[in-house]
Amino acid sequence: MRATVIHGPRDIRFEDAPDPTIEAPTDAIVKVVASCICGSDLWPYRGDDELDGPRTIGHECLGVVEEVGADVRGFAAGDFVVVPFDHCDNTCAACRNGAHSACDNVAITQSGQGEYARVTQADGTLVKTDGVPDRDLWPSLLTLSDVMATGWHAAVAAGVRAGGTAVVVGDGAVGLCGVLAASQLGAETIIAMSRHEPRQELARRFGATHVVAERGKEGVAAVKDVLGGVGADAVLECVGNAPAFDQAFRVARPGATVGFVGVPHGAEVPLRVMFSKNIGLAGGMAPVRRYLPELLDLVLARTIDPGRVFDLTLPLEQVAEGYRAMDERTAIKVYLEP
Amino acid sequence: MRATVIHGPRDIRFEDAPDPTIEAPTDAIVKVVASCICGSDLWPYRGDDELDGPRTIGHECLGVVEEVGADVRGFAAGDFVVVPFDHCDNTCAACRNGAHSACDNVAITQSGQGEYARVTQADGTLVKTDGVPDRDLWPSLLTLSDVMATGWHAAVAAGVRAGGTAVVVGDGAVGLCGVLAASQLGAETIIAMSRHEPRQELARRFGATHVVAERGKEGVAAVKDVLGGVGADAVLECVGNAPAFDQAFRVARPGATVGFVGVPHGAEVPLRVMFSKNIGLAGGMAPVRRYLPELLDLVLARTIDPGRVFDLTLPLEQVAEGYRAMDERTAIKVYLEP
C-alpha cells in the first residue's frame, strides 16, 4: 500500500509500505476513508521524540472493514467504522472500569495515515454505523477516533458539571474539542485561553463564554476577573508541556480538578500546591471506546460538530504539507483524503 | 501559661510561654482539655523541617471556650468544642466548595500542646457539643481535630465507594483512620499495608479485610493476589514520602484514584504512569470543618471509635516522652492530658 512514513525530524514521505495483514484472529484490516494529523504526531516530527528508524505514522482514522480475523464476530467486510486510536478488548478489568486506554491488550493504530490500517481486538475496539453516513458528517466522525474523545476525556476527568465553571488551557484541536465537551456537559462559564483569532472564534462557536488571550500571571488575573476573583471548578489541560501545566494549576480554584490529556513532555506536577489548595489531577490517555457510542449518537444527531476543527483538507499524498501547516500553526488540524 | 515548645531537633520542652490572647474580634481562646502529637510534628522534631527558633507546637486539641472576641456570635465561654487544626471562615469560595483547608483566612492552631490555644475565625472553625461529652468519648472526639478527619479525607479524595476495593498505604494513626473511613464508606475489600503487629490488629478492628506486610514489588504482588490480579479502585496514601507515593501508584488499578493526605516530603508524582494508566491524584490538607459535623455525629452515636489510635496516655508535662515514643514507633499516637 501507500502510506505516510516518518524518516526523521521534518522528514515525512508518502510512499510504499507493507500491507498490514491479519496477525491475530482478533484483528481486522480497515481501508482508510479519512484520516488526519494529531498534535502528538508533531513530537517526533519536531525531533522531540526519538525515532528508531523509519516507521508508518498516523493513529486517527475512519474506514471500511476490508477483512476480519477468524475470531471477529461483530464486524464484517463492508462495515463503516470509527477506529479508536487506542485498541482495547473492552472486556478486561481496566475496560470494565472505564480505563480502556490501559486495557490489558492495548495497542495503537500504526498506519492511520495510509491506505490500510490493522486494528487489533476488533470486536472490542471498533464501533460501526448503520450504512455509510452522510459525507458531510465524516470530519466529525473522524474526530471521534481521538481528538473529540480526548477533549471529552479532559472535561470528564476535570469533573466538569452542569452550572460549573471551566477553563481550557490549549487552543489546539484537543483544547477546542474540550470547550465543546465542557459546553455539552453543561458548564455555565467556559473560558478558552487562546491568543489566535481563528481559534478564539471556533472556541466561541463551540461554547466558550469567554476568551482569555493573556498567559502566565496576566492570564490568571484575567481568568479570576471573569470568575469573580476565584479560579475555575474544572481545568482542562490540553497541551502536556510545563507552561501549560503551570497555567492549569494556577487557574484552578481550591478544591478543583485539573483534567490532563496531553502527552506529558517536561511537565511537572506542583505537589505542594496540590496539597495546600486541594487541587486534584486526573485524566491521561483517552479511553476512546468508553465514550464512542455516546459521542457517535451526538454526531449522527448533529448535536455536536467537532469536525469544524479541520480547517485544511489535503489529499493523503500531500500529507507532508499538512505536517508543515500544523507545525507552523497555519492550520488547526488537517483532514486527509485518500 | 505552660506549653510545649520545640527548640530544635529532638529538643521538646514543656515550659512557660506567653498566654494566647484575642488578637482579632473573630478569635476565641480555648482552654485545652486534651491534645496529642501528630505525625507531622515529627518532621521538625527529626530536623526534616527547618525551625526559625523556638516555637510552641501542637495543632490537635479539644477544649472549652475561655473567651471570645467581640464578633464571635456562635460560641461563648464554657462551650465544649472540637478545634479543627486548620481554622477557616466557612464562608469564602474555597469553604463553600469544600476546600476549607485553603480558606481565604486559613490559619493553624499554634499551641495545641499547651494549656490554651487561640482559634481564629472561631464562628467558622469550631464545632461544639451539647454539654460536656462522656469522658470516654474524648479520645475519639480529639481525633476529629485532625487525624480522623484526615483519614476520612484520604478516603473521600480516593473515591472510596460502597462495594469497591481500597488499599491503605501507611499504618500510622492517619492510615488507620483511613481504614476506618474506608470501612464506614462501604468499601468491600480493604487492604492495610502494615508490618507492625499491633497496628495490623487495630487495622483489622477498624475494618481492614486483609493485611499486607510486604512492601515494594512483593507488596504489589500480594495486593494483586487479594484483588484477583488487579490493583485497587481507591488508594489512600497516608505518609507523604517517596516510597509511600511509589507504593500507592503501584497498587492502583487503571482508572483508580490515589487520595493523598500526608504532607509531601520528597514525594514525586509519576506523571507518565498516571497518563498511561489513567490514575488520578487528589486530596491534600484535610478540610476538617467540612467533615466535622458528620464525624461528630458518628462518634457521639458510638458508631466509630477512632480514639483507639491512642495507645499511650501521658500528662502534658511529659510531652517530650510522647515525642520519643512516636519517633521510635513504640506508640501509634500519644494522648496528652493537662
Domains defined for chain A, CATH in brackets: 2-146+287-337 (3.90.180.10), 149-283 (3.40.50.720)
Contacts of B99 in chain A (CB under 8 A): 253-255, 277-278
Residues of A with CB under 8 A from a CB of B: 93-94, 97-99, 101-102, 157, 228-230, 233, 253-257, 260, 263-264, 267-269, 271-272, 274-285, 287
Test A102 with B283 for CB contact under 8 angstroms: no
- pLDDT above 90: residue A50: no
- pLDDT above 90: residue B50: no
Contacts of B157 in chain A (CB under 8 A): 280
Test B255 with A283 for CB contact under 8 angstroms: no
Contacts of B93 in chain A (CB under 8 A): 228-230, 253-254
Residue B1's CB is within 10 A of a number of other CB atoms, namely 15
Contacts of A93 in chain B (CB under 8 A): 228-230, 253-254
Whole-number percent of chain A with pLDDT over 70: 100
Largest CA distance in chain B: 60
- Stretch A211-237: mean pLDDT: 97
**ipTM for this model:** 0.95
Contacts of A285 in chain B (CB under 8 A): 275-276, 278
- pLDDT above 90: residue B153: yes
Whole-number percent of chain B with pLDDT over 70: 100
Measure in Å the smallest separation between the Cα of A85 and chain B Cα atoms: 14
pLDDT tens, residue by residue, A147-188: 999 999 999 999 999 999 999 999 999 999 999 999 999 999
Q: What region, left, alpha or beta, does residue B216 occupy, with left being phi > 0 and alpha being psi -120 to 50 degrees? A: left
Instruction: Return the residue of A nearest to B104 by Cα.
Output: A254
- What is the full DSSP assignment across B251-311? TEEEEEEEEE-SPPBB----HHHHHHHT-EEEE-S--HHHHHHHHHHHHHTTS--GGGGEE
Test B99 with A264 for CB contact under 8 angstroms: no
Q: How far apart are CA B282 and CA B302, in angstroms?
A: 29
**pLDDT at residue A67, rounded to an integer:** 98
- Stretch A193-218: mean pLDDT: 97
- pLDDT above 90: residue A65: yes
| Residues whose CB falls within 8 Å of the CB of residue B142, separated by 6 or more in sequence, listed in order | B34, B35, B36, B60, B61, B62, B82, B307, B310, B335
Q: How far apart are CA B115 and CA B336, in angstroms?
A: 11
Instruction: Return the residue of B nearest to A164 by Cα.
Output: B97
- Stretch B192-217: mean pLDDT: 97
- pLDDT above 90: residue B310: yes
Contacts within 8 Å (CB) and 24+ apart, A239-245:
A239/A169, A239/A170, A239/A172, A239/A175, A240/A264, A240/A265, A240/A267, A241/A265, A241/A266, A241/A267, A242/A266, A242/A267, A242/A268, A243/A215, A244/A169, A244/A170, A245/A269, A245/A270
Contacts of A275 in chain B (CB under 8 A): 260, 263-264, 283-285
Closest CA to B43 of B316, B336, B323, B333: B323
- pLDDT above 90: residue B294: yes
- Stretch B19-41: mean pLDDT: 97
